[in-house]
Chains A and B, each alone.
Chain A
Amino acid sequence: MAAAVDIATIARWFTDGSHWQGSDGIPHRLAEHLTICGLSLAVAVGVALPVGIILGHLRKGGVLAENIANLGRAVPSLAILIIAVPFVGIGARPAELALIALAVPPLLTNTYVGMAGVDEDVRDAARGLGMTGWQMVVRAEVPLALPLILAGLRTAAFQVVATATLAAVVASGGLGRYIVDGLAVRDNVEVVCGSLLVVALAVTVEVLIAGIQRLAVAAPLRNPKSYTTDEQLEESVHETVLDPAA
């Protein structure tokens, strides 16, 4: 059995120079983790956002958007991860497939709901201003749907960063290596330190995207409660749609 886990052993693990260099060092494992997550999220956003925006704009496929969310919950990431191995081999590839499948449902559902939830009056007003369908999407609907789209991105990014830990099961890199390797040899200190790294990364990502949400969402839309009052909705439309500088 390994040394007892307490503040001292954890501190020693983190200050041990050998844990900060080489291919099993924290910087390298963190880079691997972020690469897998970044790639998966980028693909998921590339698929889910256009589909959600188009379906939401056309107000079609609501059942699809809802069922994808339910199906996504019912298919565990570990199952996708392992079933993908015979098709794409071991390493980062199956992990990326599992993470894309994990990230698409919250992105797609939130984008669809945000787009489909844009008030019909707003769409009428946009049409009345002579906007084409495309202009309406870019200048009226997406800005109004942005709070929900970003909430979906936040959920997806958090889940991807957390679940990328599983990649180590199929011989990929990432921070999960410390947990999976530590569990295999019953090295509790390594397990706990690896877990702390994953938690710290997940919290960092969460805070970062919350910051982006704050910056990217039009002021009147930041408080979801204000969304519903007519005056404020008009205000927000004024700001995001009618402002010539926008």
Chain B
Amino acid sequence: MYRYIVNRLLLVIPTLVGAAILVFTLMRLIPGDICVVRLGSGGGTFDERAVTACHAELGMDRSVLLQFVDFLWGFLNFDLGKSMWSGKPVAYEIVTRLPISIEIALMATIVAVAIAIPLGTISALKQNSWVDLFVRVFAIAGIATPSFWLGIMLILGILSVSQAFAGAPWMPPIDYVPLWQDPIRNLSMAIWPAITVGYRSSAITMRMTRSAMLEVLREDYIRTARAKGLLEKIVINRHALKNALLPVVTLIGLEFAFLIGGLVVTEQVFNLNGIGRLFVLAIANQDYTLTQALVMLVVAVSIFANLVVDLAYAWLDPRIRFA
């Protein structure tokens, strides 16, 4: 096991270098110039000499090759550089936004698992019943409904309901306070995006749980377990569900990795200052250094989540051994 983990961690290095080369190249292919966006996006006039000075300040007057060597060297030295937009260290920009993204991702995953696994299991056990039909409709609706739309509807619903019943419209806080500073305020802000995103995530996981369970329930060993006279509860929980969870865990891991940097619109809808919103801004502002670092972060999170998922396999299925 230890050897397997070390090998997997060593493989991270070429993957990250490959991603670095790819993102560096792709960013330079996007038309635009951060200095012009910065000086001109307000629609006003600006001095062309300021653009030249800005290029020099950001090192954009150097050759692309030199910029790439600089980036790679910084990356290998764990120096992500400074945001070309704000001038602040990239690490600071990311670390400032990471807590809210991790919190939402964790809460959304909890919401998703809490909904998906019981409902998916029940749906499989009651296949083709009205319960199954309801769960499937619920799941398909979750996949079909865009999270940002659901988020907007949720806020409008809260506003309207609070106005109707309390006399004054209420909406969740729009400025983030860390959980340890003010838990109530923090949770009253974070719970809504967690539900919004968690619902979508639960819908996908629910369908996977259902289909995996249906497959497992038809296996010989389940029939054998029942023939032995085991209680149905034990058959389902110990023999069926545990095996059916293998693909579900993979899915949850990938979803979690996506939630860290992928809540682009949901973060905007709830005014969350997270990684997804930062990602959009970095690309819109053509902030090369920040975008590169964010892509690397998402790649690293995905690799780590996959590793955790693979390790979880061993726990769920004793037949799997890592050489």
The judgment on whether A and B are partners is: no
